[in-house]
Structure 1
Amino acid sequence: MHPRLLLALTPLLFTPLAHAVDCDNATDQTTMNQCAAQQNKAADKELNALYQQITTRLKDSPDAKKLLVGAQRSWIAFRDAECKFSASGVEGGSVYPLIYSNCTTALTKARVEAFKTYLKCKEGDLSCPVPEA
């Protein structure tokens, strides 16, 4: 690549940094929607990491793992249906993504806490389906 071309393209490499979203000072609906989506993505990432830890611990318990998979699929269906209902009052409006994302984030964070509890089970705790690491 020619050095001048590289210098000409260099500003394009940093363009996304110039458009970083300032969620602490969001004042317009688009930015608030973007921030809500980012928070939802972060909560979902944490949930998926914990889910993987639980499935790893259940590797020797295929029946329990199957129950977890079924429960998680049902939970996702519930979460999505609940949040569609919760946000239905603003359906079609510009605030819908914010309301929907806030709902899914809140429910996902609650599920994260449930998964964290499963991962803290002590040997002999008959009320816990996830074996201690």
Structure 2
Amino acid sequence: MDHHKRSDREMGRIYNALVAAMQGFEPEDVPRLRAAQRAWIAFRDADCEVAKFRDRGGREELIYQAECLILRTQSRTSELNHWLQSIKR
């Protein structure tokens, strides 16, 4: 399994745990989180598509994109996990 899929799977795991932990909060909180996550994924994908400009058409183009996807996803996972841990306290 490639690194991006692994980091994406981990983000999904943390996201799902956060959604479960938010049950019983305000009714609009989970839909807001879902909307924010969808918007964040769209941003990540668009941003990382741009990252390929550094070597457009070259051998490194996909490496730059993959690196961006991994780093952005790991950062978001950390943010979601921070929120999850703050709920569990």
Normalised TM-score (structure 1):
0.60
Partner residue of 2:55?
A: 90
Q: Unaligned regions of 5+ residues in structure 1, if any? A: 1-36, 122-130
The count of residues paired between Structure 1 and Structure 2 equals 88
Q: Name whichever structure is richer in helix by fraction.
A: 2
Aligned-pair CA distance for 1:78 = 0.8
Distance 2:52 2:62 in 1: 8
Greater C-alpha Rg: 1
Aligned-pair CA distance for 1:85 = 1.1
Partner residue of 1:57?
A: 21
Q: Unaligned regions of 5+ residues in structure 2, if any? A: none
Aligned-pair CA distance for 1:68 = 0.3
Aligned-pair CA distance for 1:132 = 2.7
Partner residue of 1:132?
A: 88
Distance 1:118 1:50 in 2: 10
Normalised TM-score (structure 2):
0.87
Task: Quote the RMSD (CA, aligned, Å).
Answer: 1.7
Q: Deviations over 1:59-87 (max 9, x none)?
A: 22331001100110110111011111111
